[in-house]
Amino acid sequence: MSKSYLINGSVREKRPLGVWILTVVDGLVLGFLIMILAGVRAVGFVRLYTGFEDISRSIGGIALTFAAIDVFFFLWGLLICLVARGAWLGRDRARISLVMFVTFSFFVAARVDVIVLLANLVLIPIHWWYFWRPSTLAFYDRS
């Protein structure tokens, strides 16, 4: 018999260990870390080391493009943090959103690096398998 607890007047299953691990790692690595890196890059610290400041001086449109990409990735990281928190709290829509966003993030990253592509062959199926297991679904409020 699995343990359960009372939250907001309803009995809920105990939070599984995998939910702890996957949501915290996704929130920190795919969410918070992306936000920090995009924010640092948007401020311009990384541009100093990559040479983007020379491009932005010579061609103004490219600088705006890089800034828009930085803002997009900052917001994407924030969104992943929020849905990871929702999945951790037991919200079913957040669970589904987290799996979809993580899958999309891994596919975008896989276009950049072969090692990331190989890691995706393991990490994406783990997310899909774990978040649809009956024992994990019992934790989520499916109403």
If one counts the domains in the chain, the total is 1
Is residue 67 in some structural domain? yes
Measured distance CA(126)–CA(21) in Å, rounded:
12
What pLDDT band is residue 143 in, cutting at 50, 70 and 90?
low
- pTM of the complete model: 0.70
Look over the chain and give the mean of its residue pLDDT values, rounded to a whole number.
76
- Encoded tokens for 55: 């491009």
pLDDT digits (tens, 9 = 90+) for 63-116: 556 667 778 888 888 999 999 999 999 889 999 999 999 888 877 766 666 666
Is residue 8 in some structural domain? no
pLDDT digits (tens, 9 = 90+) for 49-63: 555 555 445 444 555
What pLDDT, on a 0 to 100 scale, did the predictor assign at position 44?
Answer: 65
Is residue 143 in some structural domain? no
Is residue 33 in some structural domain? yes
Of the chain, the percentage scoring pLDDT greater than 70 comes to: 63
- Which residue range(s) make up the domain with 23? 15-137
Measured distance CA(17)–CA(21) in Å, rounded:
6
| 12 vs 100: which has the higher pLDDT | 100
CB burial of residue 18 (10 Å; 0-12, 13-18, 19+): middle
First to last CA, the chain: 23
